[in-house]
Amino acid sequence: MASFYVKGGVELKGEIVPQGAKNEALQIISAVLLTKDKVTITNIPDIVDVNLQIELMAEIGVKVERITRHTCTFQADNIDPDYLGSEAFRKKSARLRGSVMIAGPMLARFGKAYVPKPGGDKIGRRRLDTHIIGFQKLGARFNYEDTNSLMQLTASKLRGAYMLLDEPSVTGTANIVMAAVMAEGITTIYNAACEPYLQQLCNMLNRMGAKISGIGSNLLTIEGVQKLSGTDHAMLPDMIEVGSFIGLAAMTQSELTIKNVGLSCLGIIPEKFMQLGIQMEFKGDDIFIPAQEVYQIQTFLDGSILTVSDHPWPGLTPDLLSIILVTATQAIGSVLIHQKMFESRLFFVDKLVDMGAQIILCDPHRATVIGIGRKYALHGITMSSPDIRAGVALLIAALSADGYSTIQNIEQIDRGYQYIDTRLNNLGADIQRIA
């Protein structure tokens, strides 16, 4: 297990460019399985989860050419569908969530798919019902092999259907869309997830020859086509990284410019940080955050305590709540953080409490942060990173704290943040990676 040894209380300064989006990359790389033609993908983040997804592609038989760490070509012209039933596929799939999105394209193209239990953050129950019910609505048969926890799907032909999703699952919608693009007839998906990464996926599929309309809404209509061809695709900037850097700037009282943020695709994210009192200026596609000694959490119009909660897009992504929570610890004022989607994502607050933060964990879904400005600084401790976002929240806390901190299990952070120590050290941080 590797660690970060972090010197706190250092002011950062400069410009930082967000990586390509992790959660978009996992969808887009899965979609290369839908065509025999070459697909070129750029702005790929060089992070553990995405690299594992690329390795999975190669193992299934996709010809992968890694032109640079951020540009890759894929050609799925000689695929082994049975590889998905293998022990090797099962093991690697269990290391990331994105592996679940291999099923939709495999079902579309080869009429069979195995869905092993995917990995990803251990942040509560993460059911796959939406995926499986969607595939069944398209005509797939489902079988669960208890002995190796493998879900098996087969279909001699997929047929378009109307479906009202139980919940707007992000990976579920991506999976069903990819299964439906070559189904016979029309598929209508209501209550679809519609975040920018899904829009990117649908636009990419349309460039490959799919006929998807309603992109950006929660009602997608897909007219099945016979085949798809190759395309080029560039990933958006990672909106969770953008949010993380806003929180980092505020917590460390640093002046930072976040370059090329893809402002039009950030939705409500900047506004949520502004509600914490963080100032920012939008300069073209950059966000400039001035060094701010104090920031004051707003109240609602009636004077009541602010609540920040997650919601499917265009609401606030749950992936930023840990960052917003840590950022609030150094603000003036109080905020209730309500993590509605995941039940085990707030448990990392005990580490912040150990560092001196004033937080009441009300229940597994809610925490009240009492920001007392910088009256008492956080102090460095040794802690372990439970998941990607909590890991970065702890890193931000450590960077703003008095003294030194050790963050263990940084493999979690590496799953989602590219060269984070090097990039932050370039801004003046003092983070040592200890293997």
Ligand X SMILES: CC(=O)N[C@H]1[C@@H](OP(=O)(O)OP(=O)(O)OC[C@H]2O[C@@H](n3ccc(=O)[nH]c3=O)[C@H](O)[C@@H]2O)O[C@H](CO)[C@@H](O)[C@@H]1O
Ligand Y SMILES: C=C(OP(=O)(O)O)C(=O)O
Annotated binding site: 22-23, 97, 319, 341
Residues of this chain that bind ligand Y (CB under 6 A): 22-23, 49, 97, 120-121, 319, 388-389, 416
Choice between 295 and 342, CB closer to ligand X: 342
- Measured CA to CA, the distance from residue 319 to residue 342 in angstroms comes to 10
CB of residue 304 to ligand Y, shortest distance in Å: 29
Residues 79-138 that bind ligand X (CB under 6 A): 97-98, 125-127
> Which range in 211-219, 270-278, 316-324, 393-401 contacts ligand X by CB under 6 A?
316-324
Choice between 319 and 421, CB closer to ligand Y: 319
Choice between 170 and 328, CB closer to ligand X: 170
Closest Cα to residue 418, out of 235, 199, 265? 235
How many residues make contact with ligand X (CB under 6 A)?
19
Q: Is 121 a known active-site residue?
A: yes
Task: Return binding residues for phosphoenolpyruvate.
Answer: 22-23
Residue nearest to ligand Y (CB): 120
Q: CB under 5 to 8 A by kind: which of ligand Y, ligand X, none does 169 bind?
A: ligand X
Q: CB under 5 to 8 A by kind: which of ligand Y, ligand X, none does 416 bind?
A: ligand Y
- Measured CA to CA, the distance from residue 325 to residue 329 in angstroms comes to 7
Task: Return binding residues for UDP-N-acetyl-alpha-D-glucosamine.
Answer: 97, 319, 341
Q: How many CA atoms lie within 13 A of 235 on its CB side?
A: 25
Residue 319 found at the interface with ligand X (CB under 6 A): yes
Q: CB under 5 to 8 A by kind: which of ligand Y, ligand X, none does 155 bind?
A: none
CB of residue 155 to ligand Y, shortest distance in Å: 26
CB of residue 56 to ligand Y, shortest distance in Å: 14
Residue 190 found at the interface with ligand X (CB under 6 A): no
Site string for ligand X, 148-187 (x = CB under 6 A): -------------------xxxxxx---------------
The active-site residue, picked from 49, 121, 238, 414, is 121
CB of residue 337 to ligand Y, shortest distance in Å: 15
> Which range in 76-84, 176-184, 266-274, 312-320 contacts ligand X by CB under 6 A?
312-320
Sorted by sequence, the CB contacts under 8 Å of residue 319 that are 6+ apart come out as 23, 240, 388, 389
Choice between 12 and 393, CB closer to ligand Y: 393
- Of 54, 341, 393, 399, the residue at the interface with ligand X (CB under 6 A) is 341
Q: Active-site residue numbers?
A: 121
**Residues found near ligand X in the complex (CB under 6 A):** 23, 26, 97-98, 125-127, 167-172, 312, 317-319, 341-342
